[in-house]
Amino acid sequence: MSQQQFWKIWERFGLFIIILIGVVGLSLLSPNFATMTNFKNFINQAAVVAIAGAGMTLAITSGGFDLSVGSVFALAACFGARILIDGSVAQSIFVSLVVGAGIGLLNGLIITKLRVPTFIATLAMMTIVRGAALIYTKGRDINIITGPAREAAYKFFGGGYIFSLPVPMVLMISVFAVFYVVLNHTAFGRHVCAVGSNEQAAIYSGLNVDRIKIAVFAIVGLTASIAAVIQTSQLMGVNSGSSGLGFELQVIAVVVLGGTSLRGGKAKLFGTMAGAILVAIANNGLNLYNTPIFYQYLVFGLILLLAVSMDGLKNKFYTPAGAWAQRI
Amino acid sequence: MDSVLQLKAVTKIFPGVRALDAVSFDVARGQVHSLVGENGAGKSTLIKILGGVFTQDSGKIIFDDKQMNFRSAHQSQLSGISVIFQEFNLLPDLSVAENIYIGREPKKGPFIDRRKITADSETILKQLDVNLDPKTIVESLSVAEKQMVEIAKALSFKARLIIMDEPTAALSEKETEKLFEVIRALKARGTTILFVSHRLKEVFAISDRITVLRDGRFIATKDARQTTEEEIIRLMVGRDIKSFFAKSSDHSQSVMLSVRGLNFQDSLRDISFDVRCGQILGVAGLMGCGKTQLAEVLYGLLPIERGEIVLNGRGVRIDSPQKAIELGIGFVSEERKENGIFPGLSVLHNLTMAIIRKISGWSGIKLDRQKERDTLRSYAGRLDIRYHRPEQEIDFLSGGNQQKVLLARALASDCKVLILCEPTRGIDVGAKVEIYSLMNELAKKGVAIIMISSDLPEVISMSDSCITMYHGRITGYLNKEQMTETNIVACAVGQKTVGIES
């Protein structure tokens, strides 16, 4: 295999090949890996990160990113959990999603209308929203103890099955299906890529760049709150201080791992899903060997470095076919 | 004659263009020597070679009797040449003194000897008779003051040749006068000045000798006292103009766009003109004359401060490019990379970006890919855009083909007024001719075209009529007969006006 061929295959299937090697390897090494219970464990973990990752993919494609998703995750979880104690499941989920989308909308407005740089705006929002979550719960845990029927219904989102598939997995696939359509089959998706590729050119082409950015951030908030509902349902409780801590970096890392360029303009949507699954498998493998959780941080960082450096090497050694022909 | 600088057959070739073609001339010691020529004559390339930014492909540079081959800006500076570019090389957050001595600060132990740099800077500034506190932070200075800091920096290097690139472009009349005093003082000390400018009045006011470049070639060096502005203009222009297409303008057509008393800051002052359906209006002027701002105001990128725009008989307010496009105004920018193409996106997506919502069902929720591809195919045919596949990234197209895609993007919105900024800059001759014939075709269909261009032969051969701008004002309304290069250049450098009632 020539170097060109290698990089060509790597570009398209690299992440999936590594996942495959991981799955086969772990199945051979550990008798507990290839079981239904364990599959459910890691797919649940992957789904939470992947769903927020879908939103983040959109943000990074538009040339931005959102540091507040961890805090939004926490606040949406707190509101959802608190409301479920007295209210219905529908009310709880509705409020969670509105909180997420609302804060995202606010992020978008601050960035576009007040002209605050994305980094600062979402960083500030990260601490503001975390503070709000702590104030709202007075720093205490919320344990969802309510009617058994309501508890069972809420548990469905994190632990139920649809056609014997785990619900978080179904939700993940649905979210990605919707995002796929939005990115590839709507004018909005096209415009998001345009803003990320060259914001000035987007303005000159008559796109309403502000409105596009606001929508993108609202969507990011929405996906973070969907992820929050799934995890709250799994834990049946939430701690306002630790919930979603470091989640924003995990989500951004998974998007980058998936191959979406931080320069914007190009989305690798399914790369994000693959990235989330890869990280979940790695963590799962470490768990099966009872490795302390500290090692998960280490391995996560190494995977990220490896993936991004492979990408850098690819760009150095490989040019897509036909790209140069027109220049000559 | 004692020459400080001798150029012998200096040649520099960029892909596809001979920027300098065997240029030879001498600069006498202690003189103010001006370098003039149209845009693209090779002035910038020449001073970049002298400043060590570029290296010549062949030819000799002899400075102070030593043959030089500058490999870096630093080398050139050390040997005694200082170039003051239009964009200053100053660090805005540092003081005047720190800027003058940046990179070679005298030390006292591990620390910068602030007292020494302040005192030394003060001495230099005093020599220049400039009243400036060396401790002032550069950011707070005016353009003219920053220029003085650059000159002081040049003197601190003991520069024997100071090259100034369009030094008066951003100065007021008074500031220009002050600059000239400083130049005369420098000359009295034996420093040689190479003065690059478009403004002939200033050139004549300050120079001992004038060298004219045209199309990368040396044309003549004249003694300032023995020549006239008219002769220099003739030398700058003096080429045979082959008109690409003979067109007859039809004045019976109705007025499409009418601009009255437009103002924007200092860049646009009382701009008024009309463009008729099917007419190509050329806009000529030097860099910084306001022609770019004019285009941006008409496309809603800049707000209007005063004045009105009447489109098709109806007063309109254009506050965003979206609004402009809705009203039927198309725009192709001169900065293809900066605000034109979407790098990394496909040719197809680049072309249809502005119309994709319009041509798709349910206001953009359901893309009509068939219609999209048809649009590409139709424009690719009309403009002869050459690409491999619709999915090919636009980055890999040639400049000319990228330009055609941008033109197609503007046309796809069905514009009635088309604003083109430097439509053929940096593209090859074949693509140029195709763009010209497309412009004529559009004009025949009744589109009003405003063409802003620095390329005089282009303005003259393509335009039905032409306006010239100078310092934000219109200095000439020229009809086809009045449109000679001499006339346009004279108006553009503020030497005369045509068609203006005073």
**pLDDT score for B363:** 64
Model confidence, pTM? 0.73
Q: In this complex, which of A190, A208, A322 lies closest to B322 when CB atoms are compared?
A: A208
Helix (H) or strand (E) holding A274: helix A269-288
Q: Does B430 touch chain A (CB under 8 A)?
A: no
Taking CB atoms and an 8 Å cutoff, what residues of chain A touch B338? 200-201
**pLDDT of amino acid B414:** 87
A215 chain-B contacts, CB cut-off 8 A: none
Per-residue burial over B102-123, b if 16 or more Cβ lie within 10 Å, else e, is eeebeeeeeeeebeebbebbbe
Percent of chain B with pLDDT over 90: 31
| CATH T-level topology, domain A32-314 | ABC transporter involved in vitamin B12 uptake, BtuC (1.10.3470)
Across residues B94-121, what is the average pLDDT?
Answer: 86
The answer to whether residue A211 neighbours chain B at the CB level (below 8 Å) is no
Query: Hey, what domains does chain B have and what are their CATH numbers?
Result: 29-56+68-80+160-238 (3.40.50.300), 87-155 (no CATH), 255-492 (3.40.50.300)
Instruction: Report CA B343 to chain centroid distance, whole Å.
Output: 24
Chain B positions touching A324 (Cβ under 8 A) are: 396
| Contact yes or no for A187 and B392 at CB 8 A | no
Q: State the DSSP code for B208.
A: S
B402-411 mean pLDDT: 91
Q: Which residues of A touch B324 (CB under 8 A)?
A: 206
The C-alpha of B413 sits at a distance from chain A's nearest C-alpha, in angstroms, of 10
Q: Are B263 and B269 in contact (CB under 8 A)?
A: yes
3-state class (DSSP) for residue B444: helix
Q: Cβ contact (<8 Å) for A325 and B388? A: yes
Distance from CA of B345 to the nearest CA of A (A): 7
Residue range B146-168, pLDDT digits in tens: 888 988 988 888 889 999 988 88
Q: Are B394 and B405 in contact (CB under 8 A)?
A: yes
Instruction: Look at residue B71 in the predicted model and tell me its pLDDT.
Output: 85
Q: CB contact, 8 Å: A205 with chain B?
A: yes
The per-residue DSSP string of B57-115 comes to: SEEEEEETTEEE---SHHHHHHTTEEEE-SS----TTSBHHHHHTTTS--EETTEE-HH
φ/ψ of B110, rounded to 5, equals -85, -5
Identify which of A299-303, B217-221, B251-255, B389-393 has the greatest average pLDDT: B217-221
| Paired sense of beta strands B209-214 and B473-479, if any | unpaired
Average pLDDT over residues B476-483: 88
Let me know: does B262 contact B294? Beta carbons within 8 Å: yes
Which residue does chain B place closest to A193, by CA atoms? B345
**Which residues, at least 6 apart from B317, have a Cβ–Cβ distance to it below 8 Å?**
B309, B323
Residue A202: list chain B partners with CB under 8 A. Answer: 342, 353
A210 CA: distance to closest CA in chain B (Å): 12
User: Given this model, what pLDDT does residue A92 score?
Assistant: 92
A36-61 and A209-235 helices, crossing angle to 10°: 160
**Pairwise CA distance, residues B27 & B31, whole Å:** 8
A contacts of B375 (beta carbons < 8 Å): none
pLDDT at B39: 65
User: Could you tell me if A324 lies within 8 Å of chain B, comparing CB atoms?
Assistant: yes
**A215–B contact, CB cutoff 8 A:** no
Q: What is the pLDDT of residue B309?
A: 92
Q: Which residue has the higher pLDDT, B288 or A136?
A: A136
Residue B15: pLDDT band (50, 70, 90) is: low
Q: Where are the domains of chain A?
A: 32-314
Under DSSP, is residue B275 helix (H, G, I), strand (E, B) or coil?
strand
Most A CBs within 10 Å: which of B331, B353, B372, B392, as the mutation test of the A interface? B353
B206-224 pLDDT, tens per residue?
999 999 998 889 999 999 9
pLDDT (tens digit, 9 = 90+) per residue, B411-430?
988 899 999 998 887 776 66
Q: What is the mean pLDDT of residues B268-289?
A: 90
CA angle A289, A294, A297 (to 5 degrees): 105
- How much is the pLDDT for A317? 67
**Close Cβ partners of B228 (under 8 Å, ≥ 6 residues apart):** none
DSSP string, B136-205: SBGGGS-HHHHHHHHHHHHHHTT-SEEEEESTTTT--HHHHHHHHHHHHHHHHTT-EEEEE-S-HHHHHH
Measured between CB atoms, which of A185, A190, A327 is closest to B353?
A190
- Cβ-based contacts of A265 with chain B (< 8 Å): 342-345
Instruction: Enumerate the residues of chain A whose CB falls inside 8 A of the CB of residue B301.
Output: 203-204
Q: Is B394 left (phi over 0), alpha (psi -120 to 50) or beta?
A: alpha
CA–CA distances in Å: residue B17 to residues A301, B53, B431: 49, 18, 15
- Say whether residue B345 is in contact with chain A using an 8 A CB cutoff: yes
Tell whether the model's pLDDT for residue B476 goes beyond 70: yes
pLDDT for res A96:
95
By Cβ distance, the residue of A201, A322, A327 closest to B398 is A327
Calpha distance B92→B198 (Å, rounded): 28
ipTM for the whole predicted complex goes beyond 0.90: no
Closest CB to B331 among A194, A202, A204: A204
* Residues in contact with A210: Cβ distance below 8 Å, sequence separation at least 6, in sequence order: A112, A113
Is B215's Cβ below 8 Å from some Cβ in A?
A: no
Residue B319 to chain A, least CA–CA distance (Å): 11
pLDDT per residue of chain A (328 residues) written in tens, 0 to 9: 677 777 777 777 778 888 888 888 888 887 777 788 888 888 999 999 999 999 999 999 999 999 999 999 999 999 999 999 888 889 999 999 999 999 999 999 999 999 999 999 999 999 999 999 999 988 888 888 877 888 888 889 888 889 988 999 999 999 999 999 999 989 999 999 999 999 999 999 999 999 999 999 999 999 999 999 999 999 888 888 888 888 998 899 999 888 888 888 889 999 999 999 988 988 888 888 888 878 888 888 888 888 778 777 776 666 544 333 333 2
Q: Cβ-count burial of A5 within 10 angstroms (0-12 exposed, 13-18 middle, 19+ buried)?
A: exposed
Cβ–Cβ < 8 Å for A122, A72? no
Residue of B nearest to A209 (CA): B322
Mutation target among A190, A268, A324 for the B interface, most CBs of B within 10 A:
A190
Q: Which residue of B has its CA nearest to A200?
A: B339
Cβ of A206 within 8 Å of Cβ of B364? The answer is: no
Q: Which residue is closest to A203 within chain B, CA to CA?
A: B321
